[in-house]
Structure 1
Amino acid sequence: MEQQKLPNAALILILSIGSLLCCCIGGIGVIPAIIALVLANKSINIYKAEPELYDNYNSIKTGRIIAIVGIVLNIAYLIYTIVVIAIYGIDGIMEQYQMQEGYQF
């Protein structure tokens, strides 16, 4: 019997990698990472029901690991951003940015 591919393997990898690329945009990469994690868990459950039917289980596991790393990095960056805003405030951050760029108002 020919083995089948688990559903959404490519989508899981794309969303997981996309979450890593979006981690420095204010934590918005959490959304694709959570979607990838949910899809990966569904595919893993399908695989565990009948493992002899499927052959791309490793790509699902890889996507799941990358999604977990993406979630952790995005949450860490979001916490970092909140702490920086709490310490310096928006005005302090803008003032520091303006001094680095050489703007004078």
Structure 2
Amino acid sequence: MEKQKLPNATLILILSIGSLLCCCFAGVGVIPAVIALVLAMKSIKIYKEAPELYDNYNSINTGKIISIIAIVLNVAYLIYTIALIASIGIDGIMEQYEMQQEYQF
């Protein structure tokens, strides 16, 4: 019997890599990372019921690992952003931005 592909393998990889690329946008990438992780866990559950029927488990596992890394990075950057706003405030951030703009050629 020919082996089948696990569902959503491509979607899991796209979401996890996309969330990894979005980690510097104030933690927005955590949403697709969580979606990818949930889809990966469902696919792994399907694989564990009948592993002899499927052949793309490695791509699902890779997507799961990337999404976990993306969640950690997004949460860390979100905490950094919150700490920065709490310590110097929005006005301090805007002053730094304006000073950078003055000294650019």
TM-score normalised by the chain length of structure 2: 0.96
1:82-101 to structure 2, matched below 5 A, reads: 82-101=82-101
Give the aligned partner of residue 53 of structure 1. Answer: 53
Residue 80 of structure 2 aligns to which amino acid in structure 1? Y
Cα displacement (A) at 1:70: 0.5
Residue 37 of structure 1 aligns to which amino acid in structure 2? L
Give the aligned partner of residue 35 of structure 1. Answer: 35
1:79 is paired with a residue of what secondary structure?
helix
Cα displacement (A) at 1:77: 0.2
Give the aligned partner of residue 9 of structure 2. Answer: 9
Q: Distance in 1 between matches of 2:73 and 2:40?
A: 19
User: Percent same amino acid among aligned pairs?
Assistant: 78
The yes-or-no answer on 1:44 pairing with 2:50 is: no
Residue 37 of structure 2 aligns to which amino acid in structure 1? L
Stretches of structure 2 that go unaligned for 5 or more consecutive residues are none
Q: Number of matched residues?
A: 103
1:55 is paired with a residue of what secondary structure?
coil
Root-mean-square deviation (Å): 0.8
4+ long deviations beyond 3 Å:
none
Q: Distance in 1 between matches of 2:19 and 2:58?
A: 19
